[in-house]
Structure 1
Amino acid sequence: MNNKVWYPYSQMQLNESRYKVVHAEKEYITLDNGKQLIDGVSSWWAAIHGYNHPELNEALSEQANKFAHIMLGGLTHKPAEDFAEKLVQITPKGLNHVFFSDSGSVAVEVGLKMAIQYWSNKGEKAKCKFVSLKKAYHGDTFKAMEVGDDSDYQNSYNHILNKGFYTSIPKGGFNCSKDELMEALRELGSILKAHSDEIAGFIVEPIMQGAGGFQIYSPEYLTEAKKMCSDFNVLFIADEVATGFGRTGKLFACEHASITPDILILGKALTAGYIGHAATLSTDIVYDAFLGSTYEEAFMHGPTFMGNPLACAVGLKSYEIFEREDYLNKIKHIETHFKVAFSDYQHKDIHQIRICGCMLVIEVVDEDCVNGFKDYAVEKGLWLRPFGKYIYATPPYIISKEGLEFIISGLLEWFEKKQL
């Protein structure tokens, strides 16, 4: 084997097929053989404007001509200050402080460290564990793995991970029954009641779980869970790395439940797929616990590339485009197209179809049902990359009606062929 690049989530000895990209424009990826693919997954949910966007290119170039990077240790700069101000303006009210980092996983680590030190600074050092949802995925760094419940990503490390507590989402999806809601809340309540003296926070992917299986659940659960966390002195942490910036149909998924988390984590679409960057926001209550006369109380964390000016310039321009072009309305139309095509669709190989905002997932009954799908999709002219029992589509918000219909027809054709 002569691989110089060690690829993610790959058994390198299997020499999986990989397609070399030479150009990308709007929703299209061009391969080295000249074939064009419609990107149905936005490069892991990040490229919400598609590719090669002229305004984002210009923002990047203009900032690069001034300075590409400045450390935030002892220095500051306008792009970071302006971007932080914008994030405070658009996120749920009360999140007034922004800590930048360079990836979603690191932003999760930052949020968890904040929660632990928050309680430590208040004299409650025993509060250092977390509650998370079953099937949660929060990233691949160590503390992020500890609050995750997706064993496929963690099997090699389970023997050294200091796991916390796990609780179920309500059954029944977005509009669950009262009984389903109460059952899930009782489970969470029993954990908080028994262990609140050692729990620092409850971390969730609001409304929609990502790599753990694209499960969708009730906003009312989040509303009530936030109240319970307040009652039991537990911080509520919302990981919106995947859901933030419109993916569920709201700008932030927390808005479905009208809640402000104590800590909010953003990534992926934050910088439109141009530069890896992330942000961890906190309320005044959390932030104020780090203020004092000594550095012992300060938050001693500082990624080299935090607040990178290129990333901040692109992030600012990205949201400007998002708002100006009314992306939430575009997302609503995408969701409607998905629902018209799939809400009543049934197939012997399909267990369940779930749709939320600009996300469609087809959960099949067995992993064998997706064997060969990736190569089929490429031959068809699509980039859709299933994993496990899930075929999912999270296209760029700028996708044309024709491009969206092409994704839908490609998915339907796959299952129709298997029907024969």
Structure 2
Amino acid sequence: MIKKHTDDIQFDQQHIWHPYTSMTTPLPAYKVVKAKGVHIELDSGEKLVDGMASWWSVVHGYNHPVINQAMHQQIDDFSHVMFGGLTHQPAIDLCRRLIKMTPEGLDKVFLADSGSVSVEVAIKMAIQYWHSKKQQKKTRLMTVLGGYHGDTFAAMSVCDPVNGMHQLFQGFMANGVFAPRPGINFDESWDDSAVTELQNLFAAHHQELAAFIIEPIVQGAGGMRFYHPEYLKQVRELCDQYNVLLIADEIATGFGRTGKLFACEHANISPDILCLGKALTGGYLTLAATLCTTEIAETISSGEAGVFMHGPTFMGNPLACSAANASLALLEQNHWQSQIESIETSLQALADLQSHPQVENVRVLGGIGVVETVRPVNTAKIQAHFIKHGVWIRPFGKLVYVMPPYVISNDELQTLIEAIINVIPNEDIWG
């Protein structure tokens, strides 16, 4: 057994390319043999409290009996059929749910493969919309610095061009317009001067802008920053004033993570196009959705092509839709608001680190807790410490953060918090 473990890990390191990992000096990859509730079990025997919800998606925990049953039932009927010319009950039920629960006015649903693809779909919708309105010059995207929208090419083009993950590809991507990142934090006093430059950019570029895309309230992988809801409200007003579509990327924030079902609700606004993913299926299968207004859908359908020019092979996958329906039903039954409120209250204990000389800032919003350090941590070293403390936390750069499953207990959450508080002071975790 030990030899097999060693052989498997060696094969993994030599042949399997993990996300954002070098093939010459790969980060350690720990082998998982089981996952249940909020725990990940390694083949070496450790049971770890998962602080990441598998990149923010496993909101109900692993191996949930309700989602398991929904998938078993569906796979016994059929696991997939093409969505061209065919439909099925799981997709119909899911789209009904999404239209009912999302912000007002989003009546058309396009089901896609992943969050990044949902952004691609949103961008294509915006460009095809203006083309159908005979305004072919409106092809550029505007966004804010510090954002992250995915790893495919159109999505990369609206990620942060300097400090983001994709500056390597700048010469191959569309040239967007970038506004300063939102400068006022979520809980600070608002100042109208915070949008002066944004207003100037709208005035200067609106005739060529197809859409403005933004992560509502929380800039996720681009920096885990929480900005003031009034900023988002001002963006909505500027898009209306200058005839620019608003795309809200709620892939990370959707389905309750920030304390609102959708982060747009903090500003009481509705976008023209909405991107969803991650928690949609409870982390069981990859699935995303792009919702838009009737006016956008009908304009595209009346244009030159007569159809929207996108159609993934696995669009509307019945198995994924069944998982999503079960996940969204659980969201309501589990009283997600009280779950998130409890998590937020407990995460406030991370503030004990605010005075540590290696800590720049501690911030909490909903089910998100962030410790931003003065300098980058060494991912391999800090993860080894976390595993010794019985938790799975994967930092990046200067951000040590948790976004746990909603079903986490107080004791399990305290294990995560205490691990961060105990590990940050270690001198050997820095890059």
Q: TM-score, normalised by structure 2?
A: 0.93
* Paired position in structure 2 for 1:247: 257
Equivalent-residue separation in structure 2 for 1:364 and 1:34 (angstroms): 31
Q: Deviations over 1:293-341 (max 9, x none)?
A: x761310110111111111111111111110110111001100111144
* Paired position in structure 2 for 1:264: 274
* Paired position in structure 2 for 1:313: 322
Q: Quick one: which amino acid aligns to residue 354 of structure 1?
A: R
Percent identical among aligned pairs is: 44
Unaligned runs of 5+ in 2: 1-9
Structure 2 counterpart SS, 1:169 = coil
Answer yes or no: is 1:354 the counterpart of 2:360: no
* Paired position in structure 1 for 2:3: none
Answer yes or no: is 1:97 the counterpart of 2:118: no
* Paired position in structure 1 for 2:135: 124
Structure 2 counterpart SS, 1:153 = coil
Equivalent-residue separation in structure 1 for 2:26 and 2:425 (angstroms): 30
Answer yes or no: is 1:40 the counterpart of 2:51: yes
Q: 1:170 deviation in Å?
A: 3.1
Structure 1 contact 249–328 (Cα < 8 Å) conserved: yes
Q: Quick one: which amino acid aligns to residue 210 of structure 1?
A: G
Equivalent-residue separation in structure 2 for 1:224 and 1:286 (angstroms): 22
* Paired position in structure 2 for 1:211: 221
Change (3 A) 1:76 1:105: same
Equivalent-residue separation in structure 1 for 2:352 and 2:365 (angstroms): 12
Answer yes or no: is 1:387 the counterpart of 2:396: yes
Structure 2 counterpart SS, 1:158 = helix
- 1:19-58 correspondence to structure 2 within 5 Å: 19-58=30-69
* Paired position in structure 1 for 2:313: 304
Change (3 A) 1:73 1:369: closer
Query: Among 326, 336, 340, which residue is 1:331 paired with?
Result: 340
Structure 2 contact 375–398 (Cα < 8 Å) conserved: yes
Q: Quick one: which amino acid aligns to residue 130 of structure 1?
A: L
Q: 4+ residue stretches of structure 1 with deviation over 6 A?
A: none
* Paired position in structure 1 for 2:160: 149
Q: Quick one: which amino acid aligns to residue 303 of structure 1?
A: P
Q: 1:17 deviation in Å?
A: 1.1
Q: Size of the alignment, in residue pairs? A: 416
Answer yes or no: is 1:109 the counterpart of 2:117: no
Query: Among 252, 258, 274, which residue is 2:284 paired with?
Result: 274
Q: TM-score, normalised by structure 1?
A: 0.96
Equivalent-residue separation in structure 1 for 2:355 and 2:293 (angstroms): 45
Q: 1:417 deviation in Å?
A: 4.4
Q: Quick one: which amino acid aligns to residue 104 of structure 1?
A: G
* Paired position in structure 1 for 2:4: none
Equivalent-residue separation in structure 2 for 1:368 and 1:403 (angstroms): 24
* Paired position in structure 2 for 1:14: 25
* Paired position in structure 2 for 1:167: 179
Structure 2 contact 350–371 (Cα < 8 Å) conserved: no
Structure 1 counterpart SS, 2:207 = coil
Q: Quick one: which amino acid aligns to residue 84 of structure 1?
A: C
Q: 1:159 deviation in Å?
A: 1.6
Q: Deviations over 1:40-83 (max 9, x none)?
A: 00000000011000000000000001110011101111111110
Structure 2 counterpart SS, 1:65 = helix
Q: 1:167 deviation in Å?
A: 1.1
Equivalent-residue separation in structure 2 for 1:154 and 1:339 (angstroms): 33
Q: Deviations over 1:279-303 (max 9, x none)?
A: 00001121121233x7613101101
Structure 1 counterpart SS, 2:79 = coil
Q: 1:155 deviation in Å?
A: 3.1
Q: Quick one: which amino acid aligns to residue 90 of structure 2?
A: P
Structure 1 contact 170–183 (Cα < 8 Å) conserved: no
Structure 2 contact 149–155 (Cα < 8 Å) conserved: yes
Structure 2 counterpart SS, 1:174 = coil
Q: Quick one: which amino acid aligns to residue 360 of structure 1?
A: G
Q: 1:415 deviation in Å?
A: 2.8
Equivalent-residue separation in structure 2 for 1:24 and 1:170 (angstroms): 38
Q: Deviations over 1:361-402 (max 9, x none)?
A: 111001147672111001111100011110010000000111
Q: Deviations over 1:213-233 (max 9, x none)?
A: 101101111112101101000
- C-alpha RMSD of the superposition: 1.6
Q: Quick one: which amino acid aligns to residue 12 of structure 1?
A: M
Q: Quick one: which amino acid aligns to residue 378 of structure 1?
A: I
Deviates more, 1:150-159 or 1:278-287: 150-159
Q: 1:128 deviation in Å?
A: 0.5
Structure 1 contact 100–280 (Cα < 8 Å) conserved: yes
Q: Deviations over 1:129-152 (max 9, x none)?
A: 011110110000000000111545
* Paired position in structure 2 for 1:411: 420
Equivalent-residue separation in structure 2 for 1:170 and 1:343 (angstroms): 26
Structure 1 counterpart SS, 2:291 = strand
* Paired position in structure 1 for 2:195: 185
Equivalent-residue separation in structure 1 for 2:66 and 2:182 (angstroms): 42
Q: Quick one: which amino acid aligns to residue 165 of structure 2?
A: Y
Equivalent-residue separation in structure 2 for 1:202 and 1:214 (angstroms): 20
Change (3 A) 1:16 1:203: same
Unaligned runs of 5+ in 1: none
Answer yes or no: is 1:199 the counterpart of 2:200: no
Structure 1 contact 170–176 (Cα < 8 Å) conserved: no
Q: 1:169 deviation in Å?
A: 3.4
Q: 1:168 deviation in Å?
A: 2.1
